[in-house]
A = this chain, B = another copy of it.
Amino acid sequence: MTKDFFQLFTVSQVRKILEDFPQLGSEEIELSSALGRTLSWDVTAPEDLPAFARSTMDGYAVRARDVFGASETEPSLLRVTGEVRMGQVPGYAALGPGEAVRIWTGGILPEGADAVVMVEYTQELDGRLIEVYRAAAPGENVILRGQDCRRGEPCLSAGTRLRPQELGILAGLGIMKLRVVRKPRVAVVSTGDEVVPEYEAPPSGKIRDINSTTLDALVRISGGEPMRLGIVHDSYDAICGVCKRAMDQGADVVMVSGGSSVGSRDFTLKVFEKVTGAPALVHGVAVRPGKPTIISRREGSAFFGLPGHVASCMVVYYLFVHYLLNIYQGLPPDAGLSFGQARCGQVFPSVAGREDYVRVRMEAPSIGSLPDAFPIYGKSGLISTLVKADALLKIPRDLEGYHQGEEAEVLILT
């Protein structure tokens, strides 16, 4: 008979097991293709950024002490000794007392100057003299040399996920090659004697493969590199063969979906035991959908037996495979997932002892500011239920469901 939910692994027990997997090794890539990748070394600034003090405004470079207390009624009078041309080193001596230099945004601050007065607060009297109507503090409208980062000091640390701004600072420092955590390689395998590739016309009694396409896309979203290994028959030898092929090709994860019948599940379990040389780490999880999940490990690589039903397969992917791919990449395990809160638009029954993930559609708030969530009815083998779904509503293990109007956590299916 079926195992009781209390004998199965809980979601958090499975995640604890996944947290033992190691971060992947690193590879060198170009700055231009590093978006979203994770740094695998601590970056020290090879030079000051910026390499010189710069003006952030159009105006006059001054010595702050010379305009101390300046106002509309008591302007300071300064002698203009030159102009900083953009991108050029000032070709004149350091600023002396009572002197000013015309400067533009981005211009190099002349020696001796420590502030810039905006042009709006000045008045030219003739070609050589200006009145300044406002005081400037030292450093005002100036970016100091090394203010972004100082040469030899830490700039970005290993484990940083590279957003546009991190790429920007690396560009500013001229760092064109980076060491990043390599992408996890994820083998995608569908099983089932009734399944044909999606690009073939299925003969009577057969259906097109849906899971390979869905899982391939999910792996891309998680930052992994999918390796589609096609469809294999529901047999020990066929599943064993494809797992070995995946290992030969350097897969970090092998996902075998389908084989949700008792017989095929047995094959998958036995193959995983054979190729890993150890019993499965996980066999059966107290989650719905997704109960028949199998997870095995061989050195740093993981083997997942995923349910064949599309909705179950996707829930298990989000809960566990995505989680592991984040760990492999040195990211927070929930990175890339979008959680929110919703109000239960009706009752959501469940059973204590298992975690439920109910496909829901969300409606604009009727009360308060939370969206209303309504269940999408339909079997977990129907891909259309996922197409209609905006999110998965989580019912925790210790609850027997939610009443209408209660607040629940949702995982947005972006």
Contacts and interface: CB of A to CB of B under 8 A. Distances in A.
Contacts of A310: 165, 168
Interface residues of A, number: 91
Given A86-B234, A106-B308, A199-B176, A383 B192 contact: no
Nearest to A161: B414
A108 B165 contact: no
B210 A314 contact: no
Contacts of A169: 210, 383-384, 387
A276 interface: no
Contacts of A163: 217, 413-414
B381 A165 contact: no
16 contacts: A32-B213, A35-B217, A49-B384, A51-B202, A56-B381, A87-B195, A89-B204, A89-B205, A105-B260, A105-B261, A106-B261, A149-B384, A165-B387, A171-B209, A173-B208, A174-B198
A269 to B, nearest CB: 15
B87 A217 contact: no
Interface in A167-205: 167-174, 176, 192-195, 198-202, 204-205
A115 to B, nearest CB: 13
Name which of A51, A193, A210, A220 has the most chain B CB atoms within 10 A of its CB: A210
Interface in A148-169: 148-149, 156, 163-169
A232 to B, nearest CB: 13
A201 B176 CA distance: 12
A211 B168 contact: yes
Interface in A22-80: 31-32, 35, 49-52, 54, 56, 58
A11 interface: no
Given A104-B263, A210-B169, A213-B168, A2 B86 contact: no
A201 B258 CA distance: 55
B56 A206 contact: no
Query: 8 smallest A-B Cβ distances: which pairs?
Result: A87-B194, A165-B386, A164-B217, A171-B213, A171-B198, A168-B214, A86-B193, A87-B193
Contact of A381 (B54, B205, B218, B338): B54
Interface of A: 1-2, 31-32, 35, 49-52, 54, 56, 58, 85-89, 104-108, 119-120, 143, 147-149, 156, 163-174, 176, 192-195, 198-202, 204-218, 220-221, 234, 258, 260-263, 308-310, 314, 338, 378-384, 386-387, 389, 413-414
Contacts of A201: 174
A44 to B, nearest CB: 14
